[in-house]
Amino acid sequence: MELLDGKKCAESLVADISGKVAGYVGSGLRKPHMTIILVGKHAPSESYVKSKVASCGRAGFASNLIRLPETITETELLGKISDINNDPGTDGLIVQLPLPSHINQQNVINAITPEKDIDGFHPANFGRMALGQKAFRPATAYGICKLLQFYNIPIKGKHCVVIGRSNIVGKPISIMLSNDFDIGNATVTLTHIETPRPLLLDETRRADIVIVAVGIPGFVSEDMVKEGVVLIDVGINRLEDGRIVGDVDFANVAGKCSWITPVPGGVGRMTVAALMINTLMAYENNFNLV
Ligand code: NAD
């Protein structure tokens, strides 16, 4: 068993980005700039935002974090997004999810201009991604692809099973890995909460690659996968004792895997790295550098 080390891969990708940025800034351009909006107080979001700001620093980007009160109305938030959409000094905009329940999340995603949508959640980017066109690809799914690529994991022709169909992880990764991309051409089965358990087991037990994003600690057990599987654990679950674990029963399953992501230090790090790649792309688009 070998670890798919998201920290190592992310550091390598961010080092490449910072080299490019140094070149651009050296030629007289401003730094790439990421703006993050954080609404209210939510402990996991605080830690995600912190790691995005820190990664911006390592990539040579400028960043600013806009904190808005929990009580902000949807109209006020949409107004703030409109201001940033029109600000030529910002290349990429993230509205950290989840949002308070009185705000419609999809309205907020739709309000971000696709040109600054570095999370890749806007329907225009999602649609372009699905069609195989140039797009900001949803960051977690893109991060998984970059991690598989970094470790030269064969994907073409492989049987991949995705567990979980969220718009931010399961759905996009199933499309991306089945697309005719450089990182793709797998045969993908997308499973979800309505997949009958025997069918789920049939699928996972013969899969070459399993990607799990369900948010249930220990969901993938040793009997669910075959010997030599490549296992990507997207879950981030906070236990009562403060530990963070994934969706895989790591202690009992890891020995069966050829490759497995740790939690933490796996996909989470790659999500942030993919945001850096997307922000650089937004910046290069802005300055016609590509
Ligand atoms: P979600 O929480 O929106 O939905 C869960 C998904 O799991 C649903 O599609 C549901 O159909 C599926 N599911 C639930 N029970 C199931 C079952 N018994 N059998 C099969 N499928 C089942 O999904 P999400 O937002 O993708 O989050 C999933 C996990 O991934 C969470 O732990 C979240 O914190 C984590 N996450 C991590 C990152 C990262 O960067 N590592 C990014 C996003 C989400």
Q: What is the mean pLDDT of residues 253-275?
A: 97
Q: Is 268 in the pocket of ligand 1 (CB under 6 A)?
A: yes
Catalytic residue among 119, 208, 233, 247: 119
Q: How confident is the model at residue 182 (pLDDT cuts 50, 70, 90)?
A: confident
- Are 209 and 158 within 8 A, CB to CB? yes
* CA 267 to ligand 1: nearest atom: 41
pTM above 0.95, yes or no: yes
Structure confidence at residue 181 (pLDDT): 86
Structure confidence at residue 122 (pLDDT): 98
Task: Indicate if 96 belongs to the active site.
Answer: yes
The average confidence (pLDDT) of the chain is: 97
Structure confidence at residue 265 (pLDDT): 96
| 3 state SS for 131-162 | CCCCCCCCHHHHHHHHHHHHCCCCCCCCEEEE
Structure confidence at residue 112 (pLDDT): 98
What share of the chain in percent tops pLDDT 70?
A: 100
Ligand 1 mean position, distance from CA 232 (Å): 13
Nearest CA to ligand 1 atom 13: 193
Q: What is the mean pLDDT of residues 112-116?
A: 98
Nearest CA to ligand 1 atom 34: 236
Structure confidence at residue 239 (pLDDT): 95
Buried b / exposed e over 16-25, threshold 16 CB at 10 Å, is ebbebbeebe
Ligand 1 mean position, distance from CA 263 (Å): 14
Hey, which of 193, 201, 202 would you mutate to test ligand 1's pocket, going by the most ligand atoms within 8 Å of its Cβ? 193
**Strand pairing report for 244-245 and 237-238:** antiparallel
Buried b / exposed e over 160-193, threshold 16 CB at 10 Å, is bbbbbbbebbbbbbbbbbbbebebbebebbbbee
Ligand 1 mean position, distance from CA 214 (Å): 3
Task: Indicate if 156 belongs to the active site.
Answer: no
Checking if the pLDDT of 93 tops 90, the result is yes
Checking if the pLDDT of 247 tops 90, the result is yes
Ligand 1 mean position, distance from CA 163 (Å): 8
C-alpha pair distances (Å), 82 with each of 108, 109, 143, 169: 10, 12, 28, 26
Structure tokens at 8: 């190592």
CA pair distance 166, 235, nearest whole angstrom: 12
- Are 276 and 12 within 8 A, CB to CB? no
Structure confidence at residue 7 (pLDDT): 97
Instruction: Provide long-range contacts, Cβ within 8 A and 24+ apart, for 100-103.
Output: 100/39, 100/40, 100/70, 102/73, 102/74, 103/39, 103/72, 103/73, 103/74, 103/77
Structure confidence at residue 162 (pLDDT): 98
Checking if the pLDDT of 290 tops 90, the result is no
Residues paired with residue 173 on neighbouring β-strands, in sequence order: none
Q: Is 170 in the pocket of ligand 1 (CB under 6 A)?
A: yes
Q: Is 195 in the pocket of ligand 1 (CB under 6 A)?
A: yes
Q: Is 239 in the pocket of ligand 1 (CB under 6 A)?
A: no
- Are 169 and 235 within 8 A, CB to CB? no
3-class SS at 189?
A: strand
pLDDT tens-digit series, residues 34-76 = 999 999 999 899 999 999 999 999 999 999 999 999 999 999 9
Checking if the pLDDT of 77 tops 90, the result is yes
Q: Is 183 in the pocket of ligand 1 (CB under 6 A)?
A: no
Q: Is 120 in the pocket of ligand 1 (CB under 6 A)?
A: no
- Are 37 and 175 within 8 A, CB to CB? no
